[in-house]
Amino acid sequence: MEIEKKVNETIVKYKLLSKKDRVVVALSGGKDSTSILFILHKLGYNVEGLMIDLHLGNWSQVHKKNMEKFCLGLGVKFHVADLKQELGQGICFIKSVLKKKKNLTGCAVCGTIKRWILNKHAKKLRADKLVTGHNLDDEAQNVLMNFLKGNISLGANSGPATGGGSVGGFVQRVKPLFFVPENNIREYAKKMKFDILYDRCPCAFETYRVETRGWIKGVSDKEKMKIVIEFQKLVPGLRKEYTRELRKCKVCGEPCSSVAGVCNACQIFQEL
Protein backbone atom coordinates (compact mmCIF):
# COMPACT_ATOMS: atom_id res chain seq x y z
CA MET A 1 0.00 0.00 0.00
CA GLU A 2 1.18 3.53 -0.84
CA ILE A 3 1.37 4.79 2.74
CA GLU A 4 3.30 1.75 3.94
CA LYS A 5 5.78 2.25 1.11
CA LYS A 6 6.20 5.93 2.02
CA VAL A 7 6.81 5.08 5.70
CA ASN A 8 9.41 2.51 4.74
CA GLU A 9 11.15 4.97 2.40
CA THR A 10 11.26 7.65 5.12
CA ILE A 11 12.68 5.18 7.66
CA VAL A 12 15.41 4.08 5.24
CA LYS A 13 16.28 7.54 3.88
CA TYR A 14 16.56 9.18 7.33
CA LYS A 15 17.82 6.03 9.14
CA LEU A 16 14.98 6.40 11.64
CA LEU A 17 14.78 2.84 12.98
CA SER A 18 16.60 -0.45 12.99
CA LYS A 19 15.06 -3.91 13.44
CA LYS A 20 17.16 -4.26 16.61
CA ASP A 21 15.64 -1.15 18.19
CA ARG A 22 13.19 -1.28 21.03
CA VAL A 23 10.58 1.06 19.58
CA VAL A 24 8.00 2.74 21.79
CA VAL A 25 5.06 4.25 19.90
CA ALA A 26 3.31 7.17 21.62
CA LEU A 27 -0.38 6.34 21.23
CA SER A 28 -3.01 9.05 21.52
CA GLY A 29 -5.73 6.70 20.28
CA GLY A 30 -6.19 8.72 17.11
CA LYS A 31 -5.79 7.59 13.48
CA ASP A 32 -2.14 8.71 13.10
CA SER A 33 -0.53 6.95 16.03
CA THR A 34 -2.76 3.87 15.60
CA SER A 35 -1.78 3.60 11.93
CA ILE A 36 1.93 4.02 12.55
CA LEU A 37 1.92 1.37 15.28
CA PHE A 38 0.16 -1.01 12.90
CA ILE A 39 2.49 -0.26 9.97
CA LEU A 40 5.69 -0.58 12.02
CA HIS A 41 4.47 -3.87 13.47
CA LYS A 42 3.64 -5.10 9.96
CA LEU A 43 7.10 -4.06 8.74
CA GLY A 44 8.63 -6.22 11.48
CA TYR A 45 9.79 -3.61 13.99
CA ASN A 46 9.89 -4.41 17.69
CA VAL A 47 7.13 -2.08 18.89
CA GLU A 48 5.32 -1.35 22.15
CA GLY A 49 2.55 1.18 22.78
CA LEU A 50 2.66 3.96 25.37
CA MET A 51 -0.33 6.16 26.16
CA ILE A 52 -0.63 9.07 28.56
CA ASP A 53 -3.98 9.00 30.31
CA LEU A 54 -4.72 12.73 30.34
CA HIS A 55 -7.95 12.24 32.32
CA LEU A 56 -10.05 14.05 29.78
CA GLY A 57 -13.25 12.38 31.01
CA ASN A 58 -14.93 9.82 28.79
CA TRP A 59 -12.74 10.78 25.81
CA SER A 60 -9.61 9.44 27.54
CA GLN A 61 -11.45 6.33 28.76
CA VAL A 62 -12.62 5.36 25.29
CA HIS A 63 -9.24 6.00 23.67
CA LYS A 64 -7.50 3.96 26.36
CA LYS A 65 -9.87 1.01 25.95
CA ASN A 66 -9.50 1.17 22.17
CA MET A 67 -5.71 1.13 22.32
CA GLU A 68 -5.61 -1.62 24.91
CA LYS A 69 -7.74 -3.78 22.63
CA PHE A 70 -5.80 -2.81 19.51
CA CYS A 71 -2.43 -3.68 21.05
CA LEU A 72 -3.78 -6.93 22.46
CA GLY A 73 -5.01 -7.86 18.98
CA LEU A 74 -1.53 -7.30 17.53
CA GLY A 75 0.20 -9.03 20.43
CA VAL A 76 2.00 -5.80 21.29
CA LYS A 77 2.68 -4.61 24.86
CA PHE A 78 0.62 -1.63 25.98
CA HIS A 79 1.76 0.80 28.70
CA VAL A 80 -0.11 3.65 30.33
CA ALA A 81 1.42 6.69 32.00
CA ASP A 82 -1.14 8.31 34.27
CA LEU A 83 -1.10 12.11 34.36
CA LYS A 84 -2.79 12.20 37.79
CA GLN A 85 -0.13 9.92 39.21
CA GLU A 86 2.58 12.07 37.65
CA LEU A 87 1.24 15.51 38.47
CA GLY A 88 -1.70 14.99 40.79
CA GLN A 89 -4.16 16.55 38.32
CA GLY A 90 -5.84 15.97 34.97
CA ILE A 91 -4.98 18.09 31.92
CA CYS A 92 -8.06 20.37 32.09
CA PHE A 93 -7.24 21.53 35.62
CA ILE A 94 -3.59 22.11 34.68
CA LYS A 95 -4.58 24.14 31.64
CA SER A 96 -7.09 26.25 33.55
CA VAL A 97 -4.50 27.12 36.24
CA LEU A 98 -1.96 28.13 33.62
CA LYS A 99 -4.48 30.25 31.81
CA LYS A 100 -5.39 32.07 35.01
CA LYS A 101 -1.86 32.55 36.33
CA LYS A 102 0.20 33.04 33.19
CA ASN A 103 -2.36 33.55 30.47
CA LEU A 104 -0.84 30.53 28.76
CA THR A 105 -3.27 28.86 26.39
CA GLY A 106 -3.23 26.52 23.46
CA CYS A 107 -1.68 23.22 22.62
CA ALA A 108 1.82 24.30 23.67
CA VAL A 109 1.22 23.56 27.37
CA CYS A 110 -0.12 20.12 26.55
CA GLY A 111 2.76 19.48 24.13
CA THR A 112 5.41 20.37 26.72
CA ILE A 113 3.83 18.14 29.37
CA LYS A 114 3.34 15.25 26.94
CA ARG A 115 6.95 15.42 25.72
CA TRP A 116 8.25 15.43 29.31
CA ILE A 117 6.15 12.42 30.38
CA LEU A 118 6.77 10.46 27.18
CA ASN A 119 10.54 10.92 27.43
CA LYS A 120 10.61 9.92 31.09
CA HIS A 121 8.54 6.78 30.48
CA ALA A 122 10.31 5.85 27.25
CA LYS A 123 13.57 5.86 29.24
CA LYS A 124 11.97 3.71 31.93
CA LEU A 125 10.93 1.25 29.21
CA ARG A 126 14.53 1.33 27.90
CA ALA A 127 13.34 2.49 24.51
CA ASP A 128 15.88 3.14 21.76
CA LYS A 129 13.37 5.24 19.82
CA LEU A 130 10.14 7.04 20.59
CA VAL A 131 7.76 7.22 17.63
CA THR A 132 5.01 9.82 17.34
CA GLY A 133 2.22 10.04 14.79
CA HIS A 134 3.01 13.58 13.59
CA ASN A 135 2.13 13.89 9.91
CA LEU A 136 2.75 16.21 6.95
CA ASP A 137 -0.14 18.50 7.90
CA ASP A 138 1.22 18.93 11.46
CA GLU A 139 4.62 19.83 10.07
CA ALA A 140 3.24 22.30 7.51
CA GLN A 141 1.23 23.93 10.31
CA ASN A 142 4.37 24.18 12.46
CA VAL A 143 6.30 25.92 9.69
CA LEU A 144 3.52 28.48 9.25
CA MET A 145 2.90 28.95 12.98
CA ASN A 146 6.56 29.61 13.68
CA PHE A 147 6.74 32.02 10.75
CA LEU A 148 3.62 33.91 11.82
CA LYS A 149 4.93 34.14 15.38
CA GLY A 150 7.99 35.80 13.85
CA ASN A 151 10.19 33.04 15.22
CA ILE A 152 11.39 30.64 12.55
CA SER A 153 14.24 29.60 14.87
CA LEU A 154 11.64 27.42 16.65
CA GLY A 155 11.88 25.18 13.60
CA ALA A 156 15.57 24.38 14.22
CA ASN A 157 14.53 21.08 15.75
CA SER A 158 12.14 20.12 12.95
CA GLY A 159 12.68 16.91 11.01
CA PRO A 160 11.73 13.23 10.82
CA ALA A 161 14.19 12.62 13.69
CA THR A 162 14.79 14.94 16.62
CA GLY A 163 16.76 14.82 19.83
CA GLY A 164 18.50 11.62 20.12
CA GLY A 165 21.21 9.17 20.48
CA SER A 166 20.03 9.71 24.09
CA VAL A 167 22.09 12.93 23.91
CA GLY A 168 21.49 14.72 27.17
CA GLY A 169 18.85 12.24 28.27
CA PHE A 170 16.50 12.53 25.30
CA VAL A 171 15.27 9.31 23.77
CA GLN A 172 15.39 9.96 20.04
CA ARG A 173 11.95 10.97 18.78
CA VAL A 174 11.09 9.87 15.25
CA LYS A 175 8.20 10.68 12.96
CA PRO A 176 7.85 8.10 10.18
CA LEU A 177 4.63 9.84 8.95
CA PHE A 178 6.51 13.12 8.45
CA PHE A 179 5.85 13.12 4.69
CA VAL A 180 2.40 11.50 4.73
CA PRO A 181 -0.63 13.83 4.33
CA GLU A 182 -3.32 13.55 7.00
CA ASN A 183 -5.93 12.74 4.32
CA ASN A 184 -4.04 9.61 3.30
CA ILE A 185 -3.75 8.44 6.90
CA ARG A 186 -7.48 8.94 7.49
CA GLU A 187 -8.28 6.96 4.33
CA TYR A 188 -5.90 4.19 5.39
CA ALA A 189 -7.29 3.93 8.94
CA LYS A 190 -10.85 3.78 7.60
CA LYS A 191 -9.97 1.21 4.97
CA MET A 192 -8.30 -0.93 7.61
CA LYS A 193 -11.43 -0.54 9.78
CA PHE A 194 -9.43 0.37 12.89
CA ASP A 195 -11.78 0.54 15.85
CA ILE A 196 -10.94 4.11 16.91
CA LEU A 197 -12.49 7.57 17.31
CA TYR A 198 -11.90 10.23 14.67
CA ASP A 199 -12.90 13.29 16.70
CA ARG A 200 -10.39 15.93 17.66
CA CYS A 201 -9.06 16.55 21.16
CA PRO A 202 -11.87 18.27 23.15
CA CYS A 203 -9.24 20.53 24.73
CA ALA A 204 -8.08 21.99 21.42
CA PHE A 205 -10.38 24.91 20.71
CA GLU A 206 -9.60 28.56 20.13
CA THR A 207 -5.92 27.71 19.93
CA TYR A 208 -3.36 29.04 17.50
CA ARG A 209 -2.94 25.57 16.04
CA VAL A 210 -6.65 25.23 15.36
CA GLU A 211 -6.65 28.67 13.71
CA THR A 212 -3.65 27.74 11.55
CA ARG A 213 -5.35 24.49 10.56
CA GLY A 214 -8.28 26.58 9.35
CA TRP A 215 -6.05 28.83 7.26
CA ILE A 216 -4.36 26.00 5.41
CA LYS A 217 -7.52 24.03 4.84
CA GLY A 218 -7.55 25.06 1.19
CA VAL A 219 -3.86 24.26 0.64
CA SER A 220 -3.37 21.07 -1.38
CA ASP A 221 -1.29 18.13 -0.14
CA LYS A 222 1.21 18.84 -2.91
CA GLU A 223 1.66 22.39 -1.65
CA LYS A 224 1.95 21.24 1.97
CA MET A 225 4.69 18.85 0.85
CA LYS A 226 6.49 21.77 -0.79
CA ILE A 227 6.24 23.89 2.37
CA VAL A 228 7.72 21.08 4.47
CA ILE A 229 10.44 20.02 2.01
CA GLU A 230 11.57 23.60 1.37
CA PHE A 231 11.69 24.30 5.09
CA GLN A 232 13.76 21.16 5.70
CA LYS A 233 16.43 22.67 3.45
CA LEU A 234 16.74 25.56 5.93
CA VAL A 235 16.98 23.39 9.05
CA PRO A 236 20.76 22.67 8.99
CA GLY A 237 21.45 26.42 8.90
CA LEU A 238 18.96 27.08 11.70
CA ARG A 239 20.50 24.31 13.79
CA LYS A 240 23.94 25.83 13.43
CA GLU A 241 22.64 29.20 14.49
CA TYR A 242 20.13 28.35 17.18
CA THR A 243 20.89 24.97 18.78
CA ARG A 244 21.33 25.51 22.51
CA GLU A 245 23.49 23.38 24.72
CA LEU A 246 21.50 20.87 26.76
CA ARG A 247 21.92 20.65 30.50
CA LYS A 248 20.14 18.78 33.28
CA CYS A 249 17.07 20.45 34.70
CA LYS A 250 17.83 21.55 38.28
CA VAL A 251 14.42 20.34 39.42
CA CYS A 252 13.66 17.06 37.62
CA GLY A 253 16.99 16.06 36.10
CA GLU A 254 15.48 15.73 32.61
CA PRO A 255 17.23 17.46 29.70
CA CYS A 256 16.73 21.20 29.49
CA SER A 257 17.79 23.95 27.12
CA SER A 258 16.73 26.98 29.13
CA VAL A 259 19.46 29.32 30.36
CA ALA A 260 17.88 29.39 33.83
CA GLY A 261 18.49 25.63 34.15
CA VAL A 262 14.82 24.74 34.77
CA CYS A 263 13.08 22.82 31.97
CA ASN A 264 9.89 24.09 30.31
CA ALA A 265 7.83 21.36 31.97
CA CYS A 266 9.07 22.21 35.48
CA GLN A 267 8.36 25.89 34.81
CA ILE A 268 4.78 24.80 34.19
CA PHE A 269 4.67 22.48 37.23
CA GLN A 270 5.88 25.31 39.50
CA GLU A 271 2.58 27.09 38.82
CA LEU A 272 0.40 24.20 40.00
Query: Which residues of this chain interact with ligand AMP, rule CB under 6 A?
Result: 26-28, 32-33, 51-52, 54, 114, 132-134, 201
Q: Which is nearer to ligand AMP, 180 or 256 (CB)?
A: 180
Among Zn ion, ligand AMP, none, partner that 252 touches (CB below 5 to 8 angstroms by kind): Zn ion
Residue 86: CA count within 13 A, CB half-sphere: 22
Q: Which is nearer to Zn ion, 122 or 249 (CB)?
A: 249
CA distances, 201 to each of 58, 165, 205, 253 (Å)? 12, 31, 8, 30
Contact 196, 242 (CB under 8 A): no
Among ligand AMP, Zn ion, none, partner that 136 touches (CB below 5 to 8 angstroms by kind): none
- The site for Zn ion (CB under 5 A) is made up of 249, 251-252, 263, 266
The residue among 193, 197, 175 whose CA lies nearest residue 40 is 175
Q: Which is nearer to ligand AMP, 26 or 140 (CB)?
A: 26
For residue 24, count other CB atoms closer than 10 A to its CB: 26
Among ligand AMP, Zn ion, none, partner that 155 touches (CB below 5 to 8 angstroms by kind): none
Q: Which is nearer to ligand AMP, 52 or 263 (CB)?
A: 52
**Shortest distance, position 148 Cβ to Zn ion, whole Å:** 29
| N residues, the chain | 272
**Helix boundaries (H) for the chain:** 2-13, 31-42, 57-74, 83-87, 91-102, 107-124, 136-148, 182-191, 208-215, 221-242, 264-269
Among Zn ion, ligand AMP, none, partner that 66 touches (CB below 5 to 8 angstroms by kind): none
**Shortest distance, position 127 Cβ to ligand AMP, whole Å:** 13
Among ligand AMP, Zn ion, none, partner that 132 touches (CB below 5 to 8 angstroms by kind): ligand AMP
**Shortest distance, position 160 Cβ to ligand AMP, whole Å:** 14
Phi, psi for 5 (deg, rounded to 5): -65, -45
**Shortest distance, position 247 Cβ to ligand AMP, whole Å:** 25
Q: Which is nearer to ligand AMP, 32 or 128 (CB)?
A: 32
CA distances, 179 to each of 134, 135, 143, 158, 269 (Å)? 9, 6, 14, 13, 34
